[in-house]
Structure 1
C-alpha cells in the first residue's frame, strides 16, 4: 500500500470511493460519482487543502481530505472527509492515513466533526481525539 498526497488525477477515484462508502450502512446516503466529485473538488480547490490517499494496486482504497486554517490558538488542520472502502476497513488503513497527516502537517492541532454512535467515533477516539462537550453543531433548512 502506498500513502501519498492527493493529486487532481485522484479526484475521480476518490469520488467513486466516497460514493460507495457513504451509500452503505450506517450512512445510507444517496451519492452518485458525479455529486461526490462536485463535493470533493470544492475541498481540493480550497486554499490550505491537503489530501492524502491510500493506494493499492493503482486503486484508491481510502483518503483523508482537509484544510489548514488559522485559529486563535495556532494553526488548525480541519478534516473535512475521511473514508476507507468497506472491503479494506479494519486493516489499519485509516490509522496509517491519520499517522501520515500527523507526521507531515505543520498545524498545531487537528479537528473534525463526526456522528455520535457510529464506528467513526470510536476510530477517532482510539487515535487520540477527544470530544469537546461545549460544542454544538446546528443546522436549518432554507
Structure 2
C-alpha cells in the first residue's frame, strides 16, 4: 500500500471508495457521484487544504482530507473526512492515513486536530484507540432550517 499527498486531480478517483464507505452500513447514507464530487471539491478548494490518499494495487481505497487553520496561538488540523472502502477496512489503512497525517502535520507546526463523529460508531472507537480525546465540555450542534 502507498500513502501519498492527495492532489485535486485525484478527486474523481476517490468517489467510488467514498460512496462505498458512507453508503454501506454502518452509515447508510445516500451519496451520489455528483454529491460526492461537490463535497470533495469544496474540501479540496478550502484554504490550507491538506490530505493523504491510500492506494492499494493501483486503486485509491481511502483518504484523510481536511484543512489547517490558525487557532489561538497555533495551527490546528480540521479533519473533514477520513474514509476507507469497506472491502479494505480492518487492514490498518485508516490507522496509517491518520498516523501519517499526524506525523506530516507536526512537521508543519500543527499541534492537534479537531473533528466530529458519532459516539455510537466504529469511527468513535477508532479515534479513541489512536489517542484522540473526547472533549466532554464541548458540544456539536446541528440547527435544521
TM-score of the two chains, using structure 2 as the length reference: 0.94
Which residue does the alignment assign to 1:25? 25
| Contact 2:64/2:82 (<8 A) preserved | yes
Ranges in structure 2 where 5+ consecutive residues have no aligned partner: none
SS of alignment partner, residue 18 of structure 2:
helix
Instruction: From 128, 136, 141, give the equivalent of 2:139.
Output: 136
Which residue does the alignment assign to 1:102? 102
| Contact 1:69/1:76 (<8 A) preserved | yes
- Matched residue pairs, number? 142
Which residue does the alignment assign to 2:56? 56
| Contact 2:51/2:101 (<8 A) preserved | no
SS of alignment partner, residue 68 of structure 1:
strand
Ranges in structure 1 where 5+ consecutive residues have no aligned partner: none
Ranges of 4+ aligned residues in structure 1 off by more than 6 Å: none
Shift of 1:73: 3.9
Q: CA RMSD in A?
A: 0.9
SS of alignment partner, residue 47 of structure 1:
coil
Q: What is the CA–CA distance in structure 2 between the aligned matches of 1:18 and 1:125, rounded to whole Å?
A: 22
Q: What is the CA–CA distance in structure 1 between the aligned matches of 2:144 and 2:113, rounded to whole Å?
A: 29
Task: String of CA shifts for 1:28-61, please: whole Å, max 9, x gaps.
Answer: 1100111101001101011110110000122110
